[in-house]
C-alpha cells in the first residue's frame, strides 16, 4: 500500500498539484474576473429595476434581432451589468455601467474562468477532462491509501516538528494538511469526479436520453421558450416585470433576466433566481409572455433526484453560503495543494535520506522536476494576473495571449529547474513566485485597478484579492527560506570544502 | 457567528490536543492526570459542539454541516502550525477564544 501511495502520488502528483491549485483559485472565479477587468472598478451603484431598464435600452439598440438576450444583474459588489446576446449562433458580451447606461470598453480576458477551465479540462476539451478524471481517481486512491499507511493517524493528529530533520518536518506537514482537512479533500475529489459523469460513464445518457446531456437537462429544467412565430411584435418594457418576478423569487433575489426572441410574437421574458442560499445548484425561474405580459409559469419545485444530483455539483462549485463559506473552501483547498506539494518534496527528501549522499540520476531529476511542477505552476498562475495588466488593453486576440504566454513561462521555469545549480533552484523560483505575489498590489494600483478608490463601502473584492496575494507572497517567502536553509548550507559547505581542497592541492 | 465558530473550533481542537501526553508536555512538562485529561476531552467536545451550533445558526443545518467540517480543518491547522512555535499562546488563545466568541454572540 505504501508503494501505491508513493509511486501513485509521484506519477499523478505533478498534475494534481496544478489541478488543485487552479481549482482552489476557481473558488474566487468571480472576484478574479472582476480584478482582471479594472475598467469596471469605478462604476456607481443603482437599483435593479433601473439597471434592467438601461440594459434593455442598450440591447434594443445593439442587438434588436438577437435570438436571446441575457442580462446579469449587478449586485452590491459589482455595479456593472453584464449583457450577452446570441445572434446567428454566436454569443457576444458587453458590459454596461448600470448607473449611466453607457457601455464600458473592457479588455478581452478569460478572467477567473481560465482557472475553472484549466482545473477540469486542462484547456484541452474532452481529452483534458479524461486526463483530469484519471488524475482524480488517482487522487482518491492516494488519499485512501494514505489513510491506510498512516499508522499513527490519531497519535500524530496534532504533530508538527518544524525543527526536526528535513524529512520528518515535511512528513508532519504533509500529514497535518492531509488529515485535518481530510473530509474536505474526499468531498472535493469525489464531487469533482461525479460532476462530469456524463462524459466517462455515459451509458445512462445513451440509453435514456439519446446521449444528450441537453435532453436530460430539459426533463429537469422546465423550458418556457416558444418556437419562433416569425411575426414581428413589440416587446413590452422588461423592468416592470421585476416586481412580479420578485413576488415569486423573493425580494432582491433575481440574478439574471433572459429574453427569448425579442421583437417576435413568441417573445418570452424570464427571470432567474440566485442560488447562493442553498447547496443545490438550481435556479428557480419565472416566465412572462413578452408581448402580452401574460404569466407563462414558474419553476420553484424541483425533481428530488435532480436535486440530489445538483447538490453534488453545488458542493463542488462552492457558490453557496456567501464569502465566508468560499474562504473556508479556499483555505481547505490551499491545505490540499500544500499536501500534494509537500508529498512531492517528501518523495525526494525520503530517498535522499535512504540513499545517503549518492542520489541516483532518477532522484535528482525528480527533485528538479518537482520545482517546476510546484513553483513553476505557482509562478504561471500569478503571471496570468501580471499579463492581464501588462499586455496592452486593446491588443487583438488578447485573451489568447494572456493564456498562451503561460506555457513559455512554465517552460522557462522548467529549463531553469533543469540547468541551475541544484541548491538555488527552489529558493530562486519560490522567491520569484513570492515576489510576484507581494508586488501584485503595487501592480494593481499602478495599472488602474484603483484598489482603494472605495466605490463600495469597506474593502472591494479587488482590494481583498490584493491583500490575499500579499498573504500568499509572505507564506511563499517563508517556504522559500525554509527550502533554502538546510540543503543549501550543506551544499555550500561542500563546495567550500572542495575549493579549500583544490587550493591546498595547488 | 463565523468568527465565533472558528474560535470555538480552535478551542475544541486545542483541548483535544492538550489532552494528549505529548502535547500536554509541550505546555507543562508532564503528562496530564487522569481527571485533567477527561476534563479536557469533555471541554473539547463542548467546544466542537458549540462550533457546530454557530455554523447551524449562520447557515442552517445542510450548509452549516459543510462549514463545520471546514472550520474543524482550519481550527486544527491553525493549532498545528502554531503549537511548535508558541504552545502557551495557543493555550491562551484556546481559553480566551470562547470568551470572545460568547461576547460576539451575546
Choose among B63, B73, B84: nearest Cβ to A335.
Answer: B73
Instruction: Tell me whether residue A181 is in a domain.
Output: yes
Write out the residue range of the structural domain in which residue A32 sits. Answer: 2-37+113-195+316-505
User: How many residues would you count in chain B?
Assistant: 106
DSSP A264: B
Instruction: Find the CB nearest B74 among A155, A183, A328.
Output: A328
**Chain-chain contact of B67 with A328 (C-beta, under 8 angstroms):** yes
By the 10 Å C-beta count (0-12 exposed, 13-18 middle, 19+ buried), A373 is classed as: buried
B47-63 burial, b if ≥16 CB within 10 A, otherwise e?
A: bbebbbbbbbebbeeeb
Is residue A80 domain-resident? no
What letters, b where the CB count within 10 A reaches 16 and e where it falls short, cover A53-67?
bbbbebbeebbeebb
> Residues B2-19: what's their mean pLDDT?
96
Give percent helix, percent strand, percent coil of chain B, each to the nearest 5. 90, 0, 10
- Partner residue opposite A162 with nearest CB, options B2, B16, B84: B84
Domain count, chain A: 1
Interface check A320 vs B, CB under 8 A? yes
Joined grid coordinates for residue A315: 458542493
- Residue A45 has a pLDDT of 75
A87: helix, strand or coil:
strand
Mutation for A interface: B7, B9, B13, B77, most A CBs within 10 A: B77
By Cβ distance, the residue of A155, A279, A331 closest to B63 is A279
| Per-residue 3-state assignment (H helix, E strand, C coil) for A192-237 | HHHHCHHHHCCHHHHHHHCCCHHHHHHHHCCCCCCCCCCCECCCCC
The DSSP 8-state label assigned to residue A373 in this structure reads I
Contacts B83 to A, Cβ<8 Å: 158, 160
**Euclidean distance between CA atoms A461 and A262, whole angstroms:** 35
Using a CB-CB distance cutoff of 8 angstroms, which residues of chain B are in contact with residue A155? 20, 22
In a domain? residue A89: no
Q: Treating both helix axes as pointing N-terminal to C-terminal, what angle do A48-62 and A241-249 enclose, rounded to 10 degrees?
A: 130
Q: Is residue A250 part of a domain?
A: no
- pTM, two decimal places: 0.93
Closest CA to B91 of B28, B5, B37, B1: B28
pLDDT attached to residue A266: 95
Least confident of A200-204, B82-86, B95-99: A200-204
Distance CA A51, CA A102 (A): 11
For an interface test with A, the pick among B14, B70, B82, B90 (most A C-beta atoms closer than 10 Å) comes out as: B70
Q: What is the pLDDT of residue A422?
A: 85
Asked if residue A215 is part of any domain, the answer here is: no
Chain B residues with CB under 8 Å of A159 CB are 22, 80
Residues of chain A with Cβ-Cβ distance to B18 below 8 Å are none
Nearest-angstrom CA–CA distance, A340 and A22 = 13
The confidence score (pLDDT) of residue A494 equals 45
From chain B, the residues in CB contact with A177 under 8 A are: 77
Cβ pair A266, A227 in contact under 8 A:
yes
Are B59 and A331 a contacting pair at CB < 8 A? Answer: no
**Is A506 at the interface with chain B, CB within 8 A?**
no
For residue A178, is it within any domain?
A: yes
- DSSP alpha helices (H): ranges in A396-460? 398-404, 406-419, 422-438, 440-446
Surface-to-core class of residue A493, CB atoms within 10 Å of its CB (0-12 exposed, 13-18 middle, 19+ buried) = exposed
A295-299, strands of its sheet edge to edge: A103-104, A90-97, A80-87, A68-72, A254-260, A268-273, A285-289, A295-299
- Has residue A500 been placed in a domain? yes
Of A416, A313, A406, nearest to A372 by C-alpha is A416
Measured at the alpha carbon of residue A161, what is the angle toward residues B39 and A486, in degrees to the nearest 5? 170
Bridge partners for A259 per DSSP: A69, A269
Give the integer Cα–Cα distance in Å for A79 and A41.
Answer: 8
Per-residue pLDDT of chain A (506 residues; tens, 9 = 90+): 899 999 999 999 999 999 999 999 999 999 999 999 998 887 777 888 999 999 999 999 999 999 999 999 987 656 689 999 999 889 999 999 888 889 999 999 999 999 999 999 999 999 999 999 999 999 999 999 999 999 889 889 999 998 887 789 899 999 999 999 999 999 999 999 999 888 888 998 899 998 888 898 898 999 999 999 999 999 999 999 999 999 999 998 999 999 999 999 999 999 999 999 899 999 999 999 999 999 999 999 999 999 999 999 999 999 999 999 999 999 999 999 999 999 999 998 888 777 666 678 888 899 999 999 999 999 999 999 999 999 999 899 999 999 999 999 999 999 999 999 988 999 999 999 999 999 999 999 999 877 776 555 567 788 899 999 999 999 999 999 888 775 544 444 444 444 554 555 44
Interface of B to A at Cβ within 8 Å reads 2, 13, 16-17, 20, 22-23, 58-59, 62-63, 66-67, 69-74, 76-77, 79-81, 83-85
Select the more confidently predicted residue: A360 or B62.
B62
Q: What is the mean pLDDT of chain B?
A: 94
Residues A181, B73: C-beta atoms closer than 8 Å: yes
CA distances from A247 to A235, A298, A474 (A): 22, 11, 49
With an 8 Å Cβ cutoff, are B72 and A180 in contact?
Answer: yes
* Cβ-proximal residues to A506 (8 Å cutoff; 6+ apart), any chain: none
CA atoms within 13 A on the CB side of A391: 24
Residue A229 belongs to a domain = no
DSSP class of residue A39? G
Reading the block at residue A125, the C-alpha cell is 476539451
Which residues does chain B have within 8 Å of residue A161's beta carbon, measured at their own beta carbons?
84
Q: Which residues contact A77 (CB under 8 A, 6 or more apart)?
A: A34, A456, A460, A461
- B66 and A180 within 8 Å at the Cβ level: the answer is no
Q: What is the ipTM of this complex?
A: 0.96
Residue partners of A497: CB distance under 8 A and separation at least 6: none
Calpha distance B63→B53 (Å, rounded)? 12
Interface test with A, best of B73, B74, B82, B83 (most A CBs within 10 A): B73
Amino acid at each position: 500500500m505504501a508503494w501505491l501511495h508513493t509511486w501513485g502520488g509521484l506519477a499523478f502528483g505533478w498534475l494534481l498539484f496544478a489541478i488543485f491549485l487552479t481549482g482552489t483559485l476557481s473558488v474566487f472565479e468571480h472576484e478574479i474576473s472582476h480584478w482582471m477587468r479594472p475598467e469596471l472598478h469605478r462604476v456607481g451603484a443603482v437599483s435593479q429595476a433601473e439597471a434592467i431598464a438601461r440594459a434593455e435600452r442598450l440591447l434594443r439598440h445593439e442587438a434588436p434581432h438577437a435570438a436571446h438576450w441575457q442580462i446579469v444583474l449587478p449586485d452590491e459588489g459589482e455595479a456593472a451589468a453584464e449583457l450577452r446576446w446570441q445572434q446567428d449562433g454566436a454569443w457576444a458580451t458587453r458590459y454596461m455601467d448600470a448607473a449611466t447606461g453607457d457601455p464600458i470598453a473592457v479588455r478581452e480576458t478569460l478572467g477567473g474562468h481560465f482557472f475553472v477551465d484549466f482545473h477540469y479540462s486542462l484547456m484541452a476539451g474532452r481529452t483534458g477532462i479524461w486526463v483530469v478524471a484519471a488524475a482524480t481517481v488517482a487522487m482518491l486512491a492516494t488519499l485512501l491509501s494514505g489513510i491506510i499507511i498512516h499508522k499513527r493517524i490519531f497519535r500524530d493528529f496534532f504533530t508538527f516538528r518544524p525543527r526536526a530533520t528535513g524529512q520528518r518536518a515535511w512528513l508532519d506537514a504533509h500529514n497535518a494538511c492531509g488529515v485535518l482537512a481530510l473530509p474536505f479533500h474526499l468531498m472535493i475529489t469525489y464531487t469533482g469526479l461525479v460532476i462530469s459523469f456524463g462524459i466517462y460513464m455515459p451509458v445512462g445518457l445513451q440509453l435514456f436520453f439519446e446521449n444528450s446531456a441537453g435532453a436530460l437537462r430539459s426533463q429537469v429544467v422546465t423550458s418556457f421558450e416558444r418556437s419562433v412565430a416569425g411575426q414581428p411584435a413589440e416587446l413590452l418594457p422588461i423592468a416592470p416585470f421585476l416586481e412580479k418576478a420578485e413576488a415569486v423569487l423573493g425580494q432582491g433575489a433575481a440574478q439574471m433576466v433572459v429574453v427569448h426572441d425579442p421583437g417576435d410574437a413568441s417573445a418570452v421574458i424570464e427571470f432567474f433566481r440566485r442560488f447562493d442560499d442553498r447547496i443545490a445548484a438550481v435556479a428557480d425561474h419565472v416566465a412572462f409572455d413578452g408581448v402580452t405580459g401574460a404569466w407563462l409559469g414558474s419553476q420553484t419545485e424541483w425533481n428530488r433526484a435532480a436535486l440530489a444530483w445538483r447538490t453534488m455539483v453545488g458542493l463542488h462549485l462552492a457558490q453557496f453560503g456567501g464569502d465566508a463559506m468560499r474562504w473556508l473552501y479556499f483555505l481547505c483547498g490551499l491545505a490540499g495543494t500544500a499536501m500534494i506539494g509537500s508529498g512531492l518534496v517528501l518523495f525526494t527528501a525520503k530517498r535522499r535520506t535512504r540513499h545517503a549522499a549518492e542520489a541516483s540520476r532518477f532522484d535528482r531529476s525528480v527533485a528538479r522536476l518537482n520545482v517546476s511542477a510546484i513553483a513553476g505552476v505557482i509562478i504561471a498562475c500569478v503571471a496570468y494576473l501580471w499579463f492581464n495588466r501588462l499586455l496592452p488593453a486593446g491588443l487583438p486576440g488578447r485573451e489568447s495571449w494572456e493564456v498562451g504566454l503561460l506555457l513559455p513561462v512554465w517552460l522557462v521555469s522548467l529549463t531553469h529547474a533543469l540547468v541551475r545549480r541544484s541548491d538555488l533552484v527552489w529558493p530562486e523560483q519560490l522567491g520569484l513566485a513570492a515576489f510576484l505575489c507581494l508586488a501584485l498590489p503595487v501592480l494593481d494600483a499602478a495599472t488602474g485597478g484603483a484598489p482603494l478608490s472605495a466605490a463600495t463601502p469597506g474593502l472591494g473584492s479587488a482590494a481583498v484579492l490584493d491583500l490575499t496575494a500579499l498573504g500568499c507572497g509572505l507564506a511563499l517567502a517563508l517556504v522559500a527560506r525554509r527550502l533554502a536553509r538546510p540543503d543549501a548550507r550543506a551544499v555550500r559547505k561542500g563546495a567550500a570544502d572542495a575549493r579549500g581542497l583544490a587550493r591546498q592541492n595547488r | 457567528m463565523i468568527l465565533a465558530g472558528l474560535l470555538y473550533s480552535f478551542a475544541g481542537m486545542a483541548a483535544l490536543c492538550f489532552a494528549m501526553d505529548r502535547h500536554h508536555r509541550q505546555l507543562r512538562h508532564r503528562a496530564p492526570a487522569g481527571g485533567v485529561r477527561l476534563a479536557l476531552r469533555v471541554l473539547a467536545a463542548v467546544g466542537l459542539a458549540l462550533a457546530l451550533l454557530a455554523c447551524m445558526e449562520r447557515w442552517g443545518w445542510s450548509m452549516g454541516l459543510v462549514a463545520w467540517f471546514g472550520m474543524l480543518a482550519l481550527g486544527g491547522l491553525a493549532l498545528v502550525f502554531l503549537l511548535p512555535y508558541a504552545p502557551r499562546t495557543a493555550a491562551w488563545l484556546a481559553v480566551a477564544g470562547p470568551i470572545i466568541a460568547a461576547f460576539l454572540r451575546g
